C-alpha cells in the first residue's frame, strides 16, 4: 500500500485505542512525519525489531508488538506441540510501555495456547537469556531498546539455547512475521483466563536466586575478594535501568561492601532524565558517577545500560582524574586476568578459545596468543558469539573462555548467552581488587599490558542518515566503498578486502580470493600492510552507518597519530554524502 492508504486504514479503524487516535490527530498536518510512520512496516530483522514509539506500522506500539508476537506464535506452532508446551519467557526493562508490551506479547501467544512465563518486574536482558535455559523454554522475548533514546523501544527474540536466533531460524521467523497481514485485527487472549488455565505464569524469586548464584560462582579468587572487597571503594549507576538490584545484591553477597550507588539514577525512569543518552559507552553518562566518585574517593566507577547487558568503566589516571575506558580496553583487562589466573591455578584448557567480533580490537588476540589460546572472530552481534558457544558444546573442539565485543559487551560464564553487565561488573570489581592488592590501579594495569603486547588504539565514527532518504544514501555509500575501494591509506597499501556480503576476501597483493565462512552480511573490512584496519557496516538498530578503525603503534603517541591519519583519510571519502558525522 501507499503510505496514505495505510494511514487511512489506521485512522478509520473503529477499534483503535484512544492514545493512538490522539497521536494521529496531533500528526494530521505533519505530512513528512506521517509518511515516515506509515510508508512501511517496522522492520522485523534477524534480531527482532527496534523503533520509535508512536502510531503506524513503522512505529512501535501495541499493534506492531502483537504482529511480532503473532509471527512468533505461528513459528512455534509450526514446530509442534512440544515447542508450544515448552513455551516462551518474557522480560522487560524500564522503558516507556515495556511492561504493557510484555503483556501484549504474552496475551497474543496465549491465544495460540502457547505457555508463557512472564517476569513480574523489570529484569536485565542476560537474566532473560538465563531464564530461557533455566526453564527449558523454546524461546524468549526481551522488551528493550538497549541504550537508545527515551522515545525508542524494541522486541528481541531468543532461541532455546538462550541466545538470539542465528540466521537460519531467524530468517524463518521473519517470514512468519511478514506474513501477518493486518496488525490491527490480531486477537489476544484474556489475562485471567490464561492464568486459570496455567498458560501464563508469573516468574518469582527462584529464577533471580538461580541466576545470581551462577554469577557469584564466577569469582576467580574468592579469598582475594574476602580480603580486599571491603576496602575497594566503588560507585555504581544503573542509569535508571534494570541492572540496579541484581548488581547491588551480587556485590553485597560477594563481599564488596564499599559500594555507593548514584541515588539520582538508581530508580527506573523511562525518561532517563539525568543523562543525554543512557549509554555507558559515552563519557557524559558518567558525569554524576564522577561527582560521587570524587566525594567517596572511589577507585572504580561502573555504569550499566537500561537493559543491563552493557557495562562501562571509569578509573583514575596518573593525575587522579577519572577517565572512561573503551570497550576494547575493558575486554583486554578482563581477558588477561582470567587467563593469567586460570594458568596460575593450572586450569587453563589446551583447547581454550576466546570469541570476539570482527570490529573488536586485535589486542585480545595478542593477549590470548601469549597464553597459547585461540581467538575466533564472528560478525558483529552477540548472537554470533552465542552461536559459537553452542557449536563448541556440540563438537567439543573448543572450550569457551571469554566472549566480548567493542561495544561494551562481555560474557564470562556461558549460563547466559548474551552479553551480561551483571557478570562484567562483578569480575571488573574483582579485577580492581586484584590490582589493589598489588598496589596498582586498573589504569596502571592497562598500560602494563600495552608495554607487553603493543599499543593498540581503536576508533569509531558514525554517520547518521535518517528516514527513507537516509536509507538510500546509506546504500549509495556502501556501494561506493564496495566498488571503488581505496588502494592506499595513511601511506600504507590495502592488502586485504573482506566483503561479507559476497563472502569473499581478496588479497590485493596476489590477486587471490578466498571464501569467508561467515553468514552473509552487508559489511566491508579493509586490512593494511602495517596491520591497521577499518570496517564499514550499517547499524542494525539505528539509522547510522559505522566506520571502525584499529591500529597498533610502538607508543601511545605513535598509535594515536596512526589512528588519526587513517580516520581522516577514510572520512575524506565520505564527504559529499548527506548525513551527520558523530565522532
Residue-range domain boundaries for the chain? 40-210, 222-453, 455-582
Mean pLDDT of 509-531: 95
Q: What is the 3-state secondary structure of 266-321?
A: CCCCCCCCCCCCCCCCCHHHHHHHHHHHHHHCCCEEEEECCCCCCEEEEEECCCCC
Angle at 344 between CA 340 and CA 348, to 5 degrees: 70
Are the folds of 222-453 and 455-582 the same?
A: no
pLDDT at 540: 66
- Assigned CATH for 455-582: 3.30.310.50
Mean pLDDT of 174-203: 97
**Average pLDDT over every residue of 350-357:** 98
Question: What span, in angstroms and rounded, lies between the C-alpha atoms of 48 and 54?
Answer: 18
Predicted confidence at residue 576, as pLDDT, reads: 63
Residue 48 in contact with residue 157, Cβ under 8 Å?
yes
pLDDT value of position 577: 60
Three-state SS across 506-524? EECCCCCEEECCCCCCCCE
Mean pLDDT of 177-194: 96
Strand pairing of 524-528 and 152-158?
unpaired
pLDDT in tens, 7-45: 999 999 999 999 999 999 999 999 999 999 999 999 887
φ/ψ of residue 487, rounded to 5: -95, -40
580 pLDDT exceeds 60?
no
Q: Confirm or reject CATH 3.40.120.10 for domain 40-210, answering yes or no.
A: yes
- CA 434 – CA 423 distance, rounded (Å): 17
Q: What pLDDT shows up at residue 249?
A: 98
Q: CA torsion sign, 241 to 245 to 250 to 256?
A: positive
Bridge pairing between strands 234-237 and 322-324:
unpaired
- Asked if 204 contacts 99 with a C-beta cutoff of 8 angstroms, the reply is no
Catalytic residue among 146, 462, 532, 559: 146
Contacts of 7 (CB under 8 A, 6+ apart): 24, 34, 37, 38, 56
Calculate mean pLDDT across residues 60-88.
98
pLDDT of 356-393, one tens digit each? 999 999 999 999 999 999 999 999 999 999 999 999 99
Please report, rounded to a whole number, the percentage of residues in the chain having pLDDT higher than 70.
98
DSSP helix/strand/coil, 53:
strand
CB 38 within 8 A of CB 3: yes
CB distance 433 to 229 below 8 Å:
yes
**Are 426 and 218 spatial neighbours (Cβ–Cβ below 8 Å)?**
yes
Residue 189, pLDDT above cutoff 50: yes
Do 410 and 423 touch, CB atoms closer than 8 A? yes
Q: How many CB atoms lie within 10 A of CB 509?
A: 11
In angstroms, the CA 478 to CA 473 distance is 9
Mean pLDDT of the chain: 95
Residue 157 has pLDDT above 50, yes or no: yes
14 has catalytic annotation = no
Query: Domain 222-453, CATH 3.50.50.60 — does that match?
Result: no
What is the mean predicted confidence (pLDDT) over 277-300?
97
- Residue 381: name the closest of 348, 359, 351, 349 by CA: 359
Q: Is the pLDDT of residue 583 over 50?
A: no
- Residue 180's SS3 state is coil
For residue 182, the Cα-to-chain-centroid distance in whole angstroms is 31
Distance, C-alpha 58 to centroid of its chain:
22
Integer Cα distance of 498 and 124 in angstroms? 35
Give, in degrees to the nearest 5, the angle at Cα 421 between 415 and 422.
Answer: 65
If one compares 82 and 465, the residue with the highest pLDDT of the two is 82
Per-residue confidence band for 542, with pLDDT thresholds at 50, 70 and 90: low
CA 571 to chain centre: 26
pLDDT at residue 570 above 70?
yes
pLDDT (tens digit per residue) in 102-152:
999 999 999 999 999 999 999 999 999 999 999 999 999 999 999 999 999
Of residues 393, 401, 392, the one with CA closest to residue 371: 401
Q: Give me the pLDDT at residue 1, please.
A: 66
Task: Supply the pLDDT for residue 235.
Answer: 98
H-run or E-run covering 399 = strand 399-405
Beta bridge partners, 89, equal: 117, 140
What pLDDT score does 400 carry? 98
Name the nearest CA neighbour of 501 among 537, 529, 454, 531.
Answer: 537
Amino acid at each position: 500500500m501507499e503510505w496514505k492508504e495505510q494511514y487511512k486504514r489506521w485512522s478509520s479503524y473503529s477499534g483503535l485505542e484512544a492514545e493512538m487516535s490522539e497521536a494521529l490527530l496531533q500528526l494530521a498536518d505533519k505530512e513528512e512525519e506521517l509518511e515516515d510512520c506509515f510508508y512501511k512496516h517496522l522492520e522485523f530483522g534477524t534480531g527482532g525489531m527496534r523503533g520509535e514509539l508512536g502510531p503506524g506500522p513503522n512505529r512501535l506500539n501495541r499493534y506492531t508488538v502483537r504482529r511480532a508476537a503473532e509471527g512468533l506464535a505461528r513459528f512455534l506452532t509450526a514446530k509442534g506441540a512440544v515447542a508450544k508446551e515448552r513455551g516462551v519467557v518474557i522480560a522487560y526493562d524500564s522503558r516507556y510501555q515495556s511492561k504493557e508490551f510484555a503483556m501484549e506479547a504474552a496475551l497474543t501467544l496465549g491465544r495460540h495456547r502457547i505457555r508463557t512465563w512472564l517476569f513480574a518486574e523489570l529484569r536485565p536482558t542476560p537474566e532473560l537469556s538465563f531464564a530461557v535455559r533455566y526453564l527449558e523454554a523454546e524461546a524468549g522475548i526481551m522488551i528493550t531498546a538497549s541504550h537508545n533514546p527515551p522515545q525508542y523501544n524494541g522486541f528481541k527474540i531468543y532461541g532455546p539455547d538462550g541466545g538470539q536466533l542465528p540466521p537460519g531460524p531467524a530468517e524463518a521467523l521473519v517470514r512468519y512475521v511478514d506474513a501477518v497481514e493486518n496488525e490491527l485485527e490480531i486477537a489476544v487472549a484474556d489475562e485471567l483466563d490464561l492464568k486459570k488455565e496455567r498458560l501464563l505464569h508469573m516468574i518469582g524469586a527462584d529464577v533471580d536466586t538461580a541466576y545470581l548464584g551462577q554469577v557469584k560462582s564466577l569469582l576467580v579468587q574468592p579469598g582475594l575478594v574476602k580480603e580486599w572487597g571491603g576496602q575497594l571503594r566503588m560507585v555504581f549507576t544503573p542509569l535508571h535501568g534494570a541492572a540496579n538490584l541484581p548488581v547491588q545484591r551480587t556485590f553485597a553477597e560477594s563481599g564488596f561492601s564499599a559500594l555507593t550507588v548514584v541515588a539520582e539514577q538508581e530508580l527506573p525512569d523511562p525518561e532517563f532524565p539525568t543523562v543525554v543518552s543512557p549509554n555507558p559507552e559515552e563519557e557524559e553518562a558518567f558525569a554524576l558517577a564522577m561527582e560521587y566518585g570524587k566525594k567517596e574517593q572511589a577507585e572504580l566507577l561502573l555504569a550499566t545500560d537500561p537493559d543491563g547487558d552493557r557495562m562501562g568503566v571509569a578509573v583514575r589516571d596518573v593525575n587522579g582524574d577519572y577517565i572512561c575506558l573503551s570497550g576494547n580496553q575493558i575486554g583486554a583487562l578482563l581477558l588477561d586476568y582470567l587467563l593469567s589466573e586460570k594458568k596460575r591455578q593450572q586450569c587453563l584448557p589446551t583447547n581454550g578459545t576466546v570469541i570476539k567480533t570482527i570490529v573488536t580490537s586485535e589486542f585480545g588476540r595478542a593477549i590470548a596468543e601469549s597464553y597459547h589460546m585461540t581467538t575466533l572472530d564472528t560478525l558483529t552481534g552477540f548472537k554470533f558469539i552465542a552461536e559459537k558457544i553452542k557449536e563448541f558444546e556440540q563438537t567439543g573442539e573448543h572450550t569457551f573462555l571469554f566472549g566480548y565485543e567493542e561495544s561494551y559487551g562481555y560474557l564470562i560464564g556461558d549460563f547466559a548467552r548474551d552479553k551480561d553487565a551483571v557478570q562484567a561488573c562483578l569480575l571488573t570489581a574483582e579485577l580492581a581488587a586484584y590490582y589493589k592488592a598489588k598496589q596498582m590501579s586498573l589504569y596502571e594495569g592497562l598500560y602494563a599490558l600495552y608495554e607487553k603486547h603493543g599499543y593498540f588504539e581503536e576508533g569509531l565514527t558514525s554517520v547518521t542518515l535518517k528516514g527513507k532518504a537516509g536509507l538510500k544514501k546509506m546504500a549509495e555509500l556502501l556501494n561506493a566503498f564496495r566498488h571503488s575501494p581505496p588502494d592506499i591509506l595513511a601511506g600504507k597499501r590495502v592488502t586485504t578486502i573482506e566483503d561479507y556480503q559476497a563472502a569473499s576476501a581478496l588479497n590485493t597483493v596476489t590477486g587471490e580470493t578466498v571464501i569467508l565462512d561467515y553468514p552473509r552480511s552487508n559489511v566491508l573490512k579493509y586490512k593494511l600492510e602495517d596491520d591497521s584496519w577499518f570496517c564499514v557496516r550499517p547499524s542494525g538498530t539505528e539509522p547510522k552507518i559505522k566506520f571502525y578503525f584499529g591500529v597498533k603503534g610502538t607508543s601511545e603517541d605513535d598509535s594515536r597519530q596512526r589512528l588519526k591519519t587513517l580516520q581522516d583519510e577514510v572520512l575524506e571519502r565520505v564527504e559529499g554524502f548527506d548525513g551527520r558525522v558523530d565522532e
